Structure 1
Amino acid sequence: MASTEHGAAADWLRQQAQPVRRLLRNAISYGAAQSLLVCAIAWLVSHVLAQAIFAHAGLADLRWSILGVVALVLLRAVLLYRQRACSDAAGRAVTQNVQRSLRERLRQLGPRWSTGQSAGDLVTRLVDGVDTLAPYYAGYLPQAALAGLIPTVVLLAVGLREPWSALVLLLCAPLLPVFLILAGRAAAEASTRRWLRLRRLGARFMDAVSGLSTLRLYRAAEREHERVLAAGEGYRKDTMAVLRVAFLSALVMEFFATCSIAIVAVMVGFRLMSGHLGFAEGMFALLLAPEFFLPLRAMGTQRHARMEAVAAAEGLVDILAAPVAAPLAATPVATPKAAAPNLVLRGVHASQGDSGEVLRGIDLTVPAGSRLTLVGPSGGGKSSLLAAVMGLLPLESGDIEIDGHALQAADLPVWRAQIAWLPQRPHVFNGSLRDNLLLARPDADEVSIARVLRMASLDHVVAKLPQGLDTPLGERGLGLSGGELQRLAIARMCLRDASVLLWDEPTQHLDAATAAQIEQQLDQFARGRTVLRVAHRVRDLGPQEVVAVLVGGTIVEQGTVAQLRRPGTAFAALLQEDLRA
């Protein structure tokens, strides 16, 4: 199973290289050109030494050869710079492409998918995982090609001048790749364990930070601290295991390379002493022997980048392969009008991950400008129905119609522009209170802001804040109480001034007096708008409130509160349970 996952991740990594093939080819070409320059430099250096030692040539006689060496060295530096520029550009381009693909896939998957994921694990995959890709494309891929190309060029050059030394290099060359393959298996397993440990550590740390107040309240902070330390220690051990394998591989490869170079040096020395080899040819072979093994040794160090990229790619492939809703039909339809629309659900079926089918044959009509309240036990499908109306939960069958037009064929951004959604747990971003309000309507003026603050009974809270609307709020609303955060979300929803309102129990976290006051304001605000809301406090519903009772993803009853309060109904059972609470 692990090998199959590694294979899929490696295939995906190769696919990402397609858009940057030109940059990679340029980097490899610059590297190959450097190998030719190295051979030329080695020949000039050996020629200069031979002439200076044995022919007693002076500096004036050798000045052109020396200048040639300097020129070739400078040219090699330029080629090295160009090679690294192309490989680094390839790494950056792939990283940016993958980031765009992940953003698009996350947009397609929607918040319903992300809420089922561990935030820490997801952040680790999207940040640390993507960061591991650049070294793979900038370092490993070009080096993998050069590891076969440069030794071939060097071997041919040495073979033309000193065949016996070339034969030794050829016989010793397989030792390094064979050991690299053997060590690579253990290193790949260790790298995968390390990456999985990092994902778990990220998830645990994020959970601990998010729930720090709860942990302190229940005096469990020390226990969680110990668990995080244990997870960190496990990650440290896995990291050291990867480094041990990497260092051992480098040591063994250096040993084999050094022994091979020593064998070439011994052979050259004996042949020089016997007079069967000229000094220039022997020096040429000795100078190129390290260059023959250098790409293979560099390949060994770059293999770590490949293992990291493959391990991280498995998590990225999981995100990109997650199923998304079928694409909307491209047939043009009339754009929903800005006035309050008529909302109809016909035979809607929908499933959500491991939860299975959450909506089963929903038939529902919310006339334009009216309000319908969804009630039912926890897990009955109320929030899922709101998500389906917003287009965040894909439908398996059935239709959602807006003024007679199927939502599957409508322009979702246009439809969502008419929606104001008030979730049960609204999110507040790190920024000022004003910034969080203006998310609903960035061009809102001060008069509109003051009006919605009064509607949400938040004006007196803002007046007490040290900087008023410009008071900074921490992430998730640090600085405001739970009820104040709910009122901020209500003010933000009112500021949007949409024609369709979707509420998931807007006053659940408020005290009775404040809830009654805000309910009155919301009743006035909702007039003339199409409202679909979820209510958990059934006892607060008026006798003429139109409700639909959801049980197990199915609407079992529908009508006014006065009609459904009779004994024996599902609504009456909910009401009795609410009164006993």
Structure 2
Amino acid sequence: MATGSARRAPVDPRLLRLAPPVRRLILRAGAAQALTTVLVLARGVLLGWGAAELIVERALPGWVLPALLAVVLAHGGVAWVAQRWSAEGVGATVDTLRSAALQALRHRDPRAVQEQSGHWRTVLTSGLDDFRPYLSEFLPALVAVVLATPAALAVVFWADPVSGFLALVTLPLIPVFMILIGTLTRAHTERRLRITAALGGQLADLLSGALTLRALGNTAGPAREVEAAGRRHANATMSVLKLAFLSSFALEFIATLSVALVAVGIGLRLLDGGLTLAAGLIALIIIPEVYNPVRQVGTSFHAAVDGLAAVEEVLELVDAPSPTPFLPERVPGVGLRIEDLSVRGRDGVTPHGLSFDAAPGEVTVLHGPNGSGKSTVFLAALGVLPAGLVEGRIEAPASELISFLPARPVLVPGTVATNLALLGAPPTDTGVDIGVPLDREIGAHGAGVSAGQGQRLAVSRTLARGSGEPHLLLLDEPTAHLNAELVIELGRLLRDRAAAGDTVVVASHDPRILDIADQVVTL
């Protein structure tokens, strides 16, 4: 959990500690900003002094224009280098945060992660993408406040102490209004992130069950739910946009009014002869550089506030201690023994006091309704559940001798062949007809193949990893989306694998799979 000081700090200390590219990004931004500040102030002094000389003396020293041209070209070069450094640092930071979050999620209870999959999908994709303006705009603006604003204020004081005093008095008004508006914006942004995550998860669930809903003739209800969720998302987004426009107007108005106040003072003192033209022009040209960095901090902060809400969740996830996993006892062979297994979860203890032996050469089927703990048994045998949730004893073979088919297999963009080899085994003839050519392209979320073809692909690659030597096959609902003929063929294939020496454990409530079982364990 983030501390109060971490939330109030412009740069979260955890970000510097957990994402090393941020430190390099800030150092590079500081170096670029220091050079930019010197060049901008030099340009302002040259313009002001040169214009005064041209007006008063009717002549301009020959070195002024070449010097001004050199300053402008150098400024452009520094800006290009700073932009390049920023692009590299921002990409590296976002990639580091995303990788660290995925690594942290690997050590959490996979059941809880699955329940929040829509939320984390939103946070790790669009949420972290919204964090880019914070890195590319807010952090450089923050560095500019530290370096450019004091330097510009010092030059204004040198040219015209009165203007410097006016700037010093009006400058704190911008951060005061920025803090007031930012406090209100944070709550609206966090609400928008929650609504967006819920909408993403809801749409994913509806799309996965669209064919079933259509077959049942129940499409009107989900359509109304999606429409209502869309309205909530639109209202939350508009509330954030209204606050963003309000903050931009307030910051621009205060900065413009402050510059105008200084300009009026300079003009009046030029009229009564209390200020030289060169000093007045230099102060007038430099004075916007006193306010611009502070104003840019406010503007860029509100542009990045969506990403801040997402990255705070990522930092809390990554910074939290990882739970110790429950590891089964590794034994020779490929058999699986469960003794008095109980696993706590959100819905209670499932399974509770489960015991069974799955021996090589046999097909064991875990049978029971949804929520009875069939998938949880597999997760415990794989050693991915937190130790504090698991009680009992498990004897299982080494992890390289376990081949696991999850209830929701993952397909990645690429070809069918690359997806077959995803688990490290080359595509082989496992006896499963995938129904599509190996060079068929698969898009995001399994686009390009049907649900049945995707299931056959996942079964095939799971069996391919377990071919060649005896394995423990853990198959979670392998008959999902398969027609009757394919289920019969899969049953025969599993019997053949058991006869070849594999230990086959299947979680299913398909009666056709129960018919091939040597042992049925009811949960």
TM-score (norm 1): 0.76
Residues 22, 123 of structure 1: alpha-carbon distance in 2 compared, 3 angstrom cutoff: closer
User: What's the offset of the Cα at 1:513?
Assistant: 7.5
Are residues 1:532 and 2:505 paired? yes
Match of 1:7 in 2: 7
Judge conservation of contact 2:145–2:293 (CA < 8 Å) in 1: yes
CA distance in 2, matches of 1:218, 1:240: 36
User: What's the offset of the Cα at 1:199?
Assistant: 1.7
* C-alpha distance after superposition, 1:231-259 (max 9, x if no partner): 33333333232222222222222222222
Secondary structure in 2 matching 1:344 = strand
Q: Which amino acid aligns with 1:27?
A: A
Judge conservation of contact 2:365–2:508 (CA < 8 Å) in 1: yes
Match of 1:391 in 2: 383
Any residues of structure 2 matched to 1:227-306 within 5 Å, and which?
Answer: 227-306=225-304
Secondary structure in 2 matching 1:401 = strand
Any residues of structure 2 matched to 1:107-506 within 5 Å, and which?
Answer: 107-109=106-108, 111-119=110-118, 121-317=119-315, 319-320=317-318, 325-326=323-324, 340-352=333-345, 354-376=346-368, 379-395=371-387, 396-402=390-396, 415-423=398-406, 437-439=420-422, 442-445=425-428, 449=429, 452-453=430-431, 458=433, 482=452, 490-495=459-464, 496-497=466-467, 498-504=470-476, 506=478
CA distance in 1, matches of 2:517, 2:228: 58
Total equivalences in the alignment: 513
Judge conservation of contact 2:33–2:143 (CA < 8 Å) in 1: no
* C-alpha distance after superposition, 1:433-474 (max 9, x if no partner): 6555555664345xxx1xx33xx5x4xxx7xx6x65556678
User: What's the offset of the Cα at 1:271?
Assistant: 1.8
Judge conservation of contact 1:95–1:134 (CA < 8 Å) in 2: yes
CA distance in 2, matches of 1:313, 1:478: 33
CA distance in 2, matches of 1:344, 1:533: 14
Are residues 1:97 and 2:96 paired? yes
Residues 144, 420 of structure 1: alpha-carbon distance in 2 compared, 3 angstrom cutoff: same
Are residues 1:51 and 2:23 paired? no
Give me the identity figure in percent: 32
User: What's the offset of the Cα at 1:92?
Assistant: 1.8
Match of 2:70 in 1: 71
Match of 1:579 in 2: none
Judge conservation of contact 1:16–1:94 (CA < 8 Å) in 2: no
Residues 144, 361 of structure 1: alpha-carbon distance in 2 compared, 3 angstrom cutoff: same
Structure 1 unpaired stretches of 5+: 404-414, 551-581
Structure 2 unpaired stretches of 5+: none
* C-alpha distance after superposition, 1:265-298 (max 9, x if no partner): 2222222222222111111111111111111221
User: What's the offset of the Cα at 1:27?
Assistant: 0.9
Q: Which segment drifts farther, 94-103 or 494-503?
A: 494-503
Secondary structure in 2 matching 1:63 = coil
Q: Which amino acid aligns with 2:394?
A: I
The alignment's C-alpha RMSD in Å is 3.8
Judge conservation of contact 1:23–1:87 (CA < 8 Å) in 2: yes
Judge conservation of contact 1:17–1:137 (CA < 8 Å) in 2: no
Residues 5, 386 of structure 1: alpha-carbon distance in 2 compared, 3 angstrom cutoff: farther
Q: Which amino acid aligns with 1:22?
A: R
Any residues of structure 2 matched to 1:562-581 within 5 Å, and which?
Answer: none
Judge conservation of contact 2:473–2:504 (CA < 8 Å) in 1: yes
Judge conservation of contact 1:13–1:310 (CA < 8 Å) in 2: no
TM-score (norm 2): 0.84
Residues 490, 26 of structure 1: alpha-carbon distance in 2 compared, 3 angstrom cutoff: closer
CA distance in 2, matches of 1:93, 1:173: 35
